[in-house]
Each structure stands twice: as C-alpha cells, then as structure tokens.
Amino acid sequence: MNSNTVENSSTKNIAFIGAGNMANSLIRGLLNNGYDANNIWASNTNVTLLDHLKKLKIHTSTDNRLVANAADVLVLAVKPQILKEVATEMADLIREKKPLIISLAVGINLKTIHNYLQDASISIIRCMPNTPALLGSGTTGLFPNRHCSSIQKDAAEALFRSVGIVVWCKQEEEIDIVAALSGSGPAYFFLLIEALQNAGTELGLSKETASLLSQKTALGAARMAIESEGKESIEQLRQNVTSRGGTTQAALNVLEQANFRELIKKAMLAAKQRAEALAEEFENQ
C-alpha cells in the first residue's frame, strides 16, 4: 500500500465488526490502494452483505469473536446503539490481545468505550468519517487516546487516507463538531441540491434538466472552492458571481434576509448537541 505504515507488522491485520456502508467503503479503499485482501477481515450478522464482500477475497464471518481474534486493528463499524453489545461480547479477547480499537460511532466517547471493554489502557482512536468515502472523496476527523503509539496513529491515518482526507482533532470534543460539519454535511448539500432541483422544476424546467444543472453546479462550485484555495477566498468567488444589481444579488438578498448563515449555524449546533446528548445517554446506560 502506498500510504505506507498501515502495513507495519504490528498493525497489519485489520478487522471490521459490522460490514455496512462505512466498513464497505473503507475495505474498498484499502483494496484500491493495494492492501492485501488476505489481511482484511469483516463480520456481520447479515449474510447477504458478507456474500458481496467475499467476492473481494477478504476473510468474512458472522462470528465477531473469530474476526476480532485476527485483528491488530479492530474497527467497530456498527451503529452506536449496538456498540455496547458488540464490545461486551469481545471485551475479554480485546483485553488479552490489545488491538488498536477504531470506533466510528457518533456520540460514544472514549470513557464509555473503556467502560464497555473494562480496561482503561486499551489504545482507542475515535473517528468521524463521511459517506463520500464510498467514492474515495471522504473526510475523516480522528482523535486518539493517550495510549496510542505513533505506529497505531499512522495506521489509522493511512486507513482513512485510503478513502479521502484526514484531520486530527486536538480535543475529543472536536469530534462532535466534525460530526456536525462533515459527518452530517453531505446531507446538507443533498438537501440543497434537492431544493434547487425542485424549485427549478416548479419554475418550469424539466426534471432531468433541473437535476443535471443542480448536480453539476454543486460539483463545479466545490471544485472552484478547492482549486482556488490560497488564490481567491470563498467570499471573492461568491462576489465574482454577484453582479451589482443582478440576478445573483437578488437571490442572495433573500437568503441573507432569511438569516441563512444563522440557520446553518443553528443546524450544526443541533447536530453537535445531539451528539452530546447521545454521549450522556450511552455513558449512563
């Protein structure tokens, strides 16, 4: 694998508990980057999902403990509500073998995972990816506990780099902000695309045309934002579209008067507060 250290002998075998959307994109990302299928394991209660993964020549099983037993890096990729059950089921094995634990679960903090495993000395990295990882265009925020070695941190970074970009959080609380921004973020953009599409259709375009124009406009704007980095600010890009007294200004006036920016901030705050509420709920469970 070109992103080097993930194949260090102490982090070679990567096992996924729960083989849904996120695990699938990570497994495909690893394979696309030349990672050896023989070092990847996945378990799921759903056999049909495992059958798809079998075709990729990785090891699959419905037995979480069997898969966990092979792991140097153990990715917990089940929904937060199931994490306690899954972690408890494997806790003795994890205490014995001490793999690096990678948790994708939103709203479950390090303290709670330590409680599930009944061991405060296990290396754990909390990760907040997003679904564009499926296309290799993901973003992931990572936060390690103090037991993680640099080899383990490099392995986690290489894993998520195989499906996009990675940022390290300085404090655990930042993971909730990453969840509110980029974890949930694709849904905000999908909503905007949906709204543009529907409005375009209602104003008289065909559904196909409105759909094509809204998708390509989102892609074009995102590419311009990325490719202008360091040359032109986002504000400048916006101003370049906005002729004085023109159509864009008329539209933006409506959005600004409706407090669009404040609305986005309120939405993100709601997501962050939900993560915090979940954390409290799981901590007291």
Residues that bind ligand NAI (CB under 6 A): 17-22, 43-46, 49, 64, 77-80, 82, 86, 104-106, 128-131, 183
For 27, the 3-state DSSP assignment is helix
Q: Between 29 and 183, whose beta carbon lies closer to ligand A1CAB?
A: 183
Residue 82's binding partner among ligand NAI, ligand A1CAB, none (Cβ under 5 to 8 angstroms by kind) is ligand NAI
State yes or no: residue 183 binds ligand A1CAB (CB under 6 A).
Answer: yes
- Residue 159's closest CA among 80, 100, 88? 100
Give start and end residues of each alpha helix (H) in the chain.
21-32, 47-54, 64-69, 80-97, 110-117, 150-161, 174-178, 185-202, 207-227, 234-241, 247-257, 260-283
Of 189 and 246, CB closest to ligand A1CAB? 189
* Cβ neighbours for 285, distance < 8 A, ≥ 6 positions apart: 84
Of the pair 21, 121, the CB lying nearest ligand NAI is at 21
Q: Establish whether 80 is an annotated binding residue.
A: yes
- Residue 186 CB, shortest distance to ligand NAI, in Å, is 7
78 is in an annotated binding site: yes
Which residue, among 76, 104, 110, has the nearest Cα to 90 in the 3D structure? 76
The reply on whether position 164 binds ligand A1CAB by CB under 6 A is no
Task: Tell me whether residue 13 or residue 112 sits nearer to ligand A1CAB (CB atom).
Answer: 112
Q: Which of 15, 58, 101, 106 binds ligand A1CAB (CB under 6 A)?
A: 106
Strand partners, 167: 141
Shortest reach from residue 115's CB to ligand NAI, in Å: 17
**140 sits near ligand A1CAB (criterion: CB under 6 A):** no
- Residue 145 lies near ligand A1CAB (rule: CB under 6 A): no
Q: Which residues of 34-64 are buried (b: 16+ CB within 10 A; e: fewer)?
A: ebeeebbbbbbeeeebbeebeeeebbbeeeb
When binding is defined by CB under 6 A, the residue of 13, 24, 162, 184 that contacts ligand A1CAB is: 184
Residue 167 or 212: the one with the smaller Cβ distance to ligand NAI is 167
Contact 114, 122 (CB under 8 A): yes
Residue 77 annotated as binding site:
yes
User: Distances from the Cα of 120 to the Cαs of 89, 110, 111, 116, 270, in angstroms?
Assistant: 17, 9, 8, 10, 31
* Partner touching 22 among ligand A1CAB, ligand NAI, none, CB below 5 to 8 Å by kind: ligand NAI
Cβ 231 to ligand A1CAB shortest distance, Å: 32
Q: How far apart are CA 13 and CA 205, in angstroms?
A: 52
CA separation (Å) from 261 to 77, 249, 255? 33, 16, 8
Closer by beta carbon to ligand A1CAB, 139 or else 197: 139
Q: How far is the CB of 170 from ligand NAI (least distance, A)?
A: 20
Contact of 189 with 180, CB cutoff 8 Å: no
Annotated binding-site members for NADP(+): 17-22, 77-80
Give the residue ranges of the annotated binding site: 17-22, 64, 77-80
Q: Which residues bind ligand A1CAB (CB under 6 A)?
A: 106, 179, 183-184
